[in-house]
Every structure is written in C-alpha cells, then in structure tokens.
Structure 1
C-alpha cells in the first residue's frame, strides 16, 4: 500500500514544479507621471473610450487597430496653469504577457519619454534600457515611429519592442484625434 503512495507522489512531482515568475513592477502610474513631468504643479485625469470615428481613424492610420479600449492618463500643468503635456498609460502584449508602459507627449504632440512600468516576460527586459526608449523622444508622426526603420529592435526582445512601438503609435494617433486639453 505504501508503495502505491510513493509511485503516485513521484508521478505528481513534475506537476508540483513551479516555474519562476518574472513579473517586475518598476513604478506605479502615479510615480511615472511624476517622473515624466517633475515640474508639474497639477495633473488632471484623462480617461476616454475611443469613439467610433476615432476607432475608424485608428484603423485607417494603423491598419488593424484592434478592439476599442479605454485610454487613461493625465494632463500635466505647471504652476501658472500652462499645459506641459499628457501622460498616457497603456498595456500591450509582449510575447505572452502584458507590458505596462507610459508615454509622455509634449504640448505639441511630440513624444517626450517612454517609461516601462511593469514587465512580465521572462526575456526582453532590455526594452527598459534608456538607449532603446530614447529612440522615441522627439518623434511625432507615424512616419517617425516606424518599427524597424526609425525604432530599432533589440535581439531577444523583438516582439516586446514591436508591440510597445505599436502601442506608442496607437497613443500618438489617439492623442492627435483628441482636443487639446
């Protein structure tokens, strides 16, 4: 009888092996907005679901824009009430898991910074490196945000690079479609 229990325990041992979790949260959304706009005196929350017209414009600009999903973030203002820019928080799929990132757009619509807030993949964390994220700075139009041309990939993180770039493109189009705040 004991022999059966030993055989059953040995048979179930592979199921008990737990793979390590690689999820790392680097900063919260509120920490990101403060880091991206440290000179801001005030942040006003921005949250909207793309309208049918905005979704159609996204699809025309990007091809398949996917299903509509809520955009969330903040507009940043200095002490005099002057608009500094907007921070949007978004999630994209890496290879298998979600990547949470933030994009800061200046008042003129140019990308001021991209920050990785949470990375859940086992490989490809190199997209957090400042050199890779710096490629986005100053870019405004989709022609300036093309993956493989203007935005280079990192070996071993190609899908993460591609999907974050596509996410930044999506937010850039939506930012251009929303009235200035």
Structure 2
C-alpha cells in the first residue's frame, strides 16, 4: 500500500497539475481560421532526419510533424502551424508554432503545460521574442532568446520546441 502511494506521489501527481492553456482547435482557429482554405499534412522523419533533429534538440523523440496550413482562395500558402510535444522539467508540454511562408516565426503559443515554477513562459512577454525570427535562427536561450528569471529550464524547453518546429518547417514546408 505504501509503495502504491509513493508511486502515485512521485510519478502520477505531476501530471495532475497539467493545465490546458488553449485547445488545439482554438489555437488553430485563432491562428489560421481567417483563411478560406485549411489543410493538414503529416510528415514522417527518416532515421537520418531524426538524428539531425536530435543533434539540435537534445530531448527530441519526434518521429513525425503535423502541419496545418492556412491558404487563400487560390490555394496559396499564407501560414503554416504545428503543435509539438516537449519535455519540461516537471512534465510534458505542447507548444504551438506558426510560420509565415517566408520562414519567419509568426506566433508561439503554449497549448498545455505541466510546469509549476515556470509558468511565466506561457506569457506573451516571453513568447513574443520568437516572433519575426527566421527558421535558420538558433532559438537558443542566451543567443537571442532571454530566459524567464526562475524558469530557465522551462524557457529552454519552449526554445527547443520552437527549434524542432523550425527544423520541420525547413525540411517539409519551405526553405526559410
């Protein structure tokens, strides 16, 4: 009995604190809902691409990326968005990233989050610093990205999620 309680406290309890900040549906509605044509495509990473991704994003275990596209009435791409899982210090999070066709970050959104101490990374004050950066940028804390004081690990996790998304955009959607 003690062992069961200890297991719950150590492993299950952190997930109880998981907070859905915004649903994927709402994220997509506010990100690309204005466009008349919406499409979705999933891209599988080859083993070589998985290795490349791991080299730039240490925690990466991704094997595929799904992009949601907002297009005009002629089918021209106006925005590409993805939502990627990311390990945080205290549990998983999901980070939404949108790109312009030119390969610039348009928006970063925290969809769900399990961090107790790093909550400020959900705020626009932190997330807005990604906007306008090129997919070729490093998205590294300390190199163009400022960490939130007291939430360095969470800041690095969000930065890694953006880095993974940029990698996928470059390889599957546009050259940026």
Regarding TM over 0.5, the answer is yes
Does the residue aligned with 2:144 lie in a helix, a strand or coil? coil
Alpha-carbon distance change, 94 to 138 in structure 1, aligned in 2, over 3 angstroms? same
Worse overlay, 120-129 or 63-72: 63-72
Pair 67,23 (structure 1): closer, same or farther in 2 beyond 3 Å: closer
Structure number with larger C-alpha Rg: 1
TM-score for the superposition, normalised by structure 1: 0.80
Cα pair distance change 1:66/1:27, threshold 3 Å: closer
Unaligned residue ranges in structure 2 (runs of 5+): none
Q: Given that residues 58 and 65 in structure 1 are in contact (C-alpha distance below 8 angstroms), is that contact kept between their aligned partners in structure 2?
A: no
For residues 101 and 67 of structure 2, the distance between their equivalents in structure 1, rounded to whole angstroms, comes to 14
- 1:57, CA displacement in angstroms? 3.8
Query: Once structures 1 and 2 are overlaid, which stretch shifts more, 99-108 or 63-72?
Result: 63-72
Cα distance 1:120–1:149, how it changes in 2: closer, same or farther (>3 A)? same
Unaligned regions of 5+ residues in structure 1, if any?
1-11
Partner Cα separation in structure 1 for residue 125 and residue 52 of structure 2: 31
User: Aligned residue for 1:135?
Assistant: 129
Paired residue total: 167
- Name 1:24's counterpart in structure 2: 19
Residue 119 of structure 1 and its aligned partner are, at CA, apart by 1.0
The secondary structure found in structure 1 opposite 2:116 is: coil
How many Å separate the matches in 1 of 2:58 and 2:94? Answer: 21
- Whether the 8 Å CA contact 1:48–1:70 is kept in 2: the answer is yes
> 1:54·1:174 contact (CA, 8 Å) conserved in 2?
no
The aligned counterpart of 1:124 is 118
Alpha carbons of structure 1 residues 143 and 27: separation in structure 2 relative to 1, 3 Å = closer
RMSD of the alignment, in Å? 2.6
C-alpha deviation, 1:173, in angstroms = 1.4
8 Å CA contact retained: 1:94, 1:159: yes
1:55 aligns with 2:50: yes
- How far apart, in 1, do the equivalents of 2:20 and 2:163 lie? 23
Note if contact 1:93-1:160 (Cα within 8 Å) is conserved in structure 2. Answer: no
Counterparts of 1:179 and 1:38 in 2: how far apart (Å)?
19
